[in-house]
Amino acid sequence: MSIIAPIGTHKKGGGSDALPDRFIHRSKKGITREIVEEISAIKNEPVWMRELRLKAYEDFVRLPVPTWGPDLSGLHFDEITYYQRTEEGRYKSWAEVPADIKDTFEKIGVPQAERAFLAGVIGQYESEGFYQKLRPKWEDKGVIFCDTDTAVQKYPELVKEYFMTKCVKASEHKLAALHGAVWSGGSFLYVPKGVHVDMPLQTYFRMNARASGQFEHTLIIVDEGASVQYIEGCTAPKYNTSSLHAAVVEIFVKKGARARYTTIQNWSKDVYNLNTKRSIVEEDGIQEWVGGSLGSKTTMLYPCSILKGRGARAEHLNIAVAGPGQHKDTGAKVIHLAPQTSSTVISKSISFGGGISTYRGQLKIVKGATGATSHVQCDALMPDNISVSNTVPYITVDEEDVTIGHEAKVGRISEEQVFYLMSRGLTEEEAINLVVQGFMEPVIKTLPLEYAVELNRLISMEMAGSLG
């Protein structure tokens, strides 16, 4: 039924970025009811979670592949390995983490970040969170921050109530269903009433094995009057077979609470990155989404805010970068269900070298959501003539007493602008990078410094040599 690989098998010649496979368990390719049961059994899950998985599997079989967006015909569900497990145990301190995993994390800046100011870190290497720590200060206040598998075991009441029950449901679409069936890892975060976590909590995901899936489930509950900032970074090295990342993020922002969810994703250029992220915001709550989407072959990502309570607010900030062969279909969904709710969406995209970026947004204001306001701004930057930028807004407003605005702009990097900056001593590449950085600045400035630096660096690297 499964392949047990020796720990620390070194695979050479798979590209310099390839790391040893550290699997102690790897399910066979494809998805069947047996594989779903096997995953649940290995995790020693309670019956309710096993039932949830199996029900989701049925939905997966039943539901069609979505065809309203980018082409997903290169995605073959039966060629993907849905679950693999690395070495047993978690590492409580940085010192215990094996050297090669450490190297990976050091490359993406985790230890410095942690030392500097992070309140807690969970890293997910393949499918299981492998390292976690939360500063005692927050633990004492009742903050829970662990991987979601651990949460299933330790906090079953909370997980059972919120996990794919009222925010994102497995029956919604094929990818959500697949996720429900094979999910593994992710972060669970609970912030009790009135607690303000004033340092960002962060986690990293890295997909390392060829043709594998990553299906982490992140569940965040910010109780009344509490606030938190959660940051997630995702990377994957380059392999030649298509992989799938289908995450689900569910956030509950209770009355007067505030959540900021920030993610920088840099997937390998063969990954299908198809996510479902949603937040339910109660009275006077604030949900902020900050996202930077790099890499991947095809990305579909539309963080959604359901403004359920009076005065609830959503802010969406997103940057998508589409280079050669890449298709970024990203945007935002905001549903205004109550009076005096407000939303702002700023979406920035850069398409170059023939890349395609599409802003796909949905704004819905129901009857009775009086005084709702919404402003959507889509800015596209295209330094060449071979790339594509689309804007597809869907707007449904059933209430008259609302204020809405939608702006879309497409900009180019002009020769005059580059000359101007070069006349101050910057090289052509530096000049272009500066224009690009300036374009992204409204999003970058909301990021912690090391993420801002990293995002700028990644975008420069992506674009290097593709312009001129």
Partner 1 sequence: MSTLTIKNLHVTLEGKPILNGVNLTLPQGKTHVIMGPNGSGKSTLGNTILRHPQCAIAKGSITFGTKKLSSMKTDEIARAGVLLALQHPQAVSGVTVTNLLTIAMRKFCADGVGIGTCGRRKSKGFKMAHFREQIKDTAKALHMPDEFLSRSLNEGFSGGEKKKMEILQLSLLPAKCVIIDEIDSGLDIDALKLVAKQISKLRAHGVSIIIITHYNRILRWIQADKVHILHKGRIIKSGTDALAKDIEKNGYSEYIKETV
Instruction: Point out which residues bind partner 1 (CB under 8 A).
Output: 414-417, 419-428, 430-431, 434-435, 437-442
Cα–Cα distance measured from residue 238 to residue 15, given in angstroms and rounded to the nearest whole number: 8
Q: Which residue has the tokens 């272009």?
A: 432
Q: How far is the CB of 432 from partner 1 (least distance, A)?
A: 11
CB-based contact 132:90 (threshold 8 Å) = yes
Q: How far is the CB of 321 from partner 1 (least distance, A)?
A: 16
Residue whose C-alpha is closest to residue 245's, from 219, 210, 271, 270: 271
Taking the least distance from each CB to partner 1, the nearer of 152 and 444 is 444
Q: How far is the CB of 416 from partner 1 (least distance, A)?
A: 5
CB environment 19-48: b (16+ within 10 A), e (fewer): bbbbbebbbeeebeeebbebbbeebebeee
Taking the least distance from each CB to partner 1, the nearer of 158 and 426 is 426
Q: How far is the CB of 452 from partner 1 (least distance, A)?
A: 12
Query: What size, in residues, is the chain?
Result: 468
Taking the least distance from each CB to partner 1, the nearer of 79 and 441 is 441
Q: How far is the CB of 460 from partner 1 (least distance, A)?
A: 13
Q: How far is the CB of 404 from partner 1 (least distance, A)?
A: 24
Taking the least distance from each CB to partner 1, the nearer of 251 and 431 is 431
Taking the least distance from each CB to partner 1, the nearer of 322 and 413 is 413
Q: How far is the CB of 407 from partner 1 (least distance, A)?
A: 14
Taking the least distance from each CB to partner 1, the nearer of 114 and 430 is 430
Taking the least distance from each CB to partner 1, the nearer of 48 and 420 is 420
